[in-house]
A and B are shown apart, each in its own frame.
Chain A
């Protein structure tokens, strides 16, 4: 080799090694801007088994919805809450799962915010790179379809496409397949997460209304394995007791 080339070859080699090492070590870990960083494990702070509006009132139900709600309350009091899907390990549905007293882990990517609920090991994806299809084009399901965008440091999520098998809370507040859930999710401080939830469902409510829930950060906590069907004879078709 011509000696005059040697320094160039050495430099090129060193660059290649550094670049190669860089590629090998590089890991695509997304770091959200600090204000938008909602990642971590969170736990609901108060009992929301019978949700109320921001004003502390019962949501404004239509007459038919009020009758369903009253029937649900009666069946709960009688000890046979047949309306309650989780009695047979079916999903809570959304947004009821938000009110469960179990931790929620939030994971963030540029195009998706993922909520992992410990209860029923249920995931919910909020897609940041799409818009909601028309309701008529959607197949109803338990958790709906969620899309979102950032408004400053607030995650704004819109969810629709629900079946009408679930209730909004454990008490039995009903909803229809036309429900649309809007959320504004943000950190109030480093360890407190707030979700202001607005429900629009003209078949159930005379006007849209909002409620609010806060979550506390759970440092170092890992989600446990929650398997409803492992302990629920009704869900397994096995004799109870």
Chain B
């Protein structure tokens, strides 16, 4: 599936080093190169970013579980129990489907942001997910629900605000058991922090079917100019392919 050697080679090319491949691994997987910062333009989010403090249970700003409705709590309990019983309920990624929003923003793989006047694109290494965020345009009148939904973006000062609706109900919000329905409405506020060393995403999550009130998750990403995205093909060799809706070890 994904291969670290390719990444090392890519970093080799980026850094212009003539060192051997073996010697490069320390550079790539080592500490962040602090001398390199994202550009001084506060609206320039372009480049490669890598999640910090990844937590498979998305980091709620409440410091505890989201405010579930009874329906949301039952879904959580069922998933936690199934995992404890050694037969996890399969999520979208187990089927090689797109991870959905906001789940795809909480993945331990690099992401790359590309900006044009009309669009902000996020390419995710994990499962070659791609997000299209159309700038300064309203959502289309009619939206067919999809894994990644429909995202409309605009700037509020130096914060990129991304409004996402039109999500289907087949993705999860985290990897443990917080799930959602088709009423999910996600608003992300994305901005550079720490003098351009990091990106912050404050995510507002609203779905009256699963949550009694809107709640927030906060994720930060490190600026990683030393990385390039490598090829990740879930479809090539999926050893987690679910059986009857449960992930089975194969």
Contacts and interface: CB of A to CB of B under 8 A. Distances in A.
B197 interface: no
B114 A90 contact: no
A227 B235 contact: no
B177 interface: no
Interface stretch (B9-17, B27-35, B70-78, B206-214): B9-17
Contacts of B83: none
B214 to A, nearest CB: 25
A27 B241 contact: no
Contacts of A29: 115-117
A237 interface: yes
Interface stretch (A69-77, A167-175, A198-206, A228-236): A228-236
B95 A114 contact: no
A116 B121 contact: yes
Contact of A26 (B43, B98, B236, B243): B43
A137 B21 contact: yes
A23 B59 CA distance: 31
A28 B6 CA distance: 29
A121 interface: yes
Contact of B97 (A24, A30, A130, A227): A227
A229 B235 contact: yes
A125 B42 contact: no
> In which size bucket is the chain B interface?
35 or more
B98 A114 contact: no
A88 interface: yes
B23 to A, nearest CB: 13
Given A131-B13, A139-B6, A236-B241, A114 B231 contact: no
Nearest to B232: A141
Contacts, number: 121
A66 interface: no
A225 B166 CA distance: 12
Interface in B35-80: 39, 41-44, 46
A120 B235 CA distance: 10
A225 B146 contact: yes
Given A122-B128, A223-B132, A236-B241, A24 B158 contact: yes
B187 interface: no
A65 interface: no
A113 to B, nearest CB: 10
Contacts of B128: 120-123
B132 to A, nearest CB: 6
Given A29-B117, A125-B228, 6 more contacts: A28-B44, A108-B116, A130-B10, A139-B9, A225-B98, A227-B98
Interface of A: 23-30, 39, 88-91, 107-109, 112, 114, 116, 120-123, 125, 127, 129-131, 133, 137-139, 141-143, 145, 147, 161, 222-223, 225, 227-230, 235-237
Closest 5 CB pairs of A and B: A28-B44, A130-B13, A27-B43, A237-B241, A225-B146
14 contacts: A26-B41, A29-B116, A109-B114, A121-B128, A127-B13, A133-B12, A141-B6, A145-B6, A223-B130, A225-B98, A225-B148, A227-B97, A229-B97, A237-B243
